[in-house]
Every structure is written in structure tokens, then in C-alpha cells.
Amino acid sequence: MRVHKRRRISRQKDTTLFNSFVADIPASKAAEIVSVNRKTADRYYSVFREAILIDAIQERLKANLKNGIEVDESYFGPKRVRGKRGRGAGKKIVVLGLLKRQGSVYTQIIRSTEKDEVMPIIKKVVASGSDIYSDGWRSYDALAVYGYNHKKVKHSENEFAREDGTHINGVESYWSWVKRRLAQFNGILKTQFAKHMLESEWRFNHRDKLSADLKRLLRKLS
């Protein structure tokens, strides 16, 4: 997939850089694989990421999740300070996640996990009347009041899944995948964190045809 109309590197190297990005290989390693300058790999990766971010923002404006939605938050950043665990764990960045089972995910950085912070996001993204699964955090107790069919597992009581299908394993698996993915970058500037989260969201939502969808976006930009 050509990034520039004027040929700067061979088509084979161009294709290998694209495939490396699709495979989520860091630019530094891709530069070694393709035998190009690191700045060249960074330049190509920047084009790919810009295309993804533009599309991801447009998709989020149309987000409308229905039924079978799992909600949970996750924490990103420095290792926990001793004595602080879970919600409110020090200086970490808090991200709310809404995952449609067997479908797409919607994430948003939040200031806190309190009801007044999370409920407006859920109401905006999840269709009224939908089944929503959560853990026992008190902020989610308001879901039933707002017309959702709220089902929860009580992690505090070592309950993680019920026979009726109540669990949040899907969104928790998503968080695990994102953290493994971001770990390969060996640290992310706080100013760039939102972009990395957005790219992770897009990659997950297009996981079944990522290469084809990215090529489509690049054609639109060329």
C-alpha cells in the first residue's frame, strides 16, 4: 500500500511495512525487518495511524450498542502504590469500557468511576432496555433506574460467572489484550495515551478484516 505517490522505497518494502503494522510489530522492529531507516518506518506508521484515528473518531460518533453489553473499567499507568488497590489506585489513568458480546467495544477515559461520570457515557452509547452485565461496583446500581436490564457478578464475593451467562469475561479479556499490546511500546507518554487507546479500539473492532479495512482507508486518503 503506497504511502507516497513518488517511490521512496521498493514496493516489496512498502508492503512489508504495511504488513508489519497490521501485525502490530513496533516501528523500531519493523525497520530492522525491512532494512529501512527508523525515521522511514515511523513516517509510514504515522500515515497508517492517522487513517485509523480519523475512521475511529467517525465510528464513535455513530456508536449504538444493543443487548449483551459488558461494562467495566480498567487502570493504566504506573505500578500501584502500596496500600492503594482497585478503583482510585493512585495516579493511574481510568478507562471505561463497553463491550458488545461477540461484537465491538467502546472505550473512554474518565476522571472517576462515580455514577455521575459513567452513567452519561453508558446512556449515550447503549440502547435503552439492553441487557448490561457488570461487577458489583455501586455506580452501576443506577442502570436499572435508567431502563436497562442490569445483571451483575459480585467479584468481592469471588463470584466471576453465573450459570445464566452473567459475567464480564469479554471486557476483562479486552483489557488484558490492550495491556499486553501497549506493553510492547515500553512506556507511553500521557499525552499520547488517548491515541493509543483509540487505535487499540479500532484494531479490536476490525479484527476480522483489519488489513482490508486499513487499505480501504488509505485509498480514501491518497
d(C-alpha 19, C-alpha 88), whole Å: 39
Domain locations along the chain: 11-62+207-221, 69-180
Instruction: Output the nine-digit C-alpha cell for 48.
Output: 497508517
Instruction: Output the nine-digit C-alpha cell for 71.
Output: 461494562
164 to each of 115, 152, 161, 167, how far by Cα in Å?
A: 26, 11, 8, 9
| Helices 210-221, 38-61: crossing angle, 10 deg rounding | 100
pTM: 0.87
Q: What pLDDT does 157 receive?
A: 44
What are the per-10-residue average pLDDT scores of the chain (222 residues)?
Answer: 60 95 95 94 95 96 94 84 53 94 96 95 96 92 93 62 72 96 85 94 97 95 78
Q: What pLDDT does 187 receive?
A: 75
CATH architecture of the domain with range 69-180 = 2-Layer Sandwich (3.30)
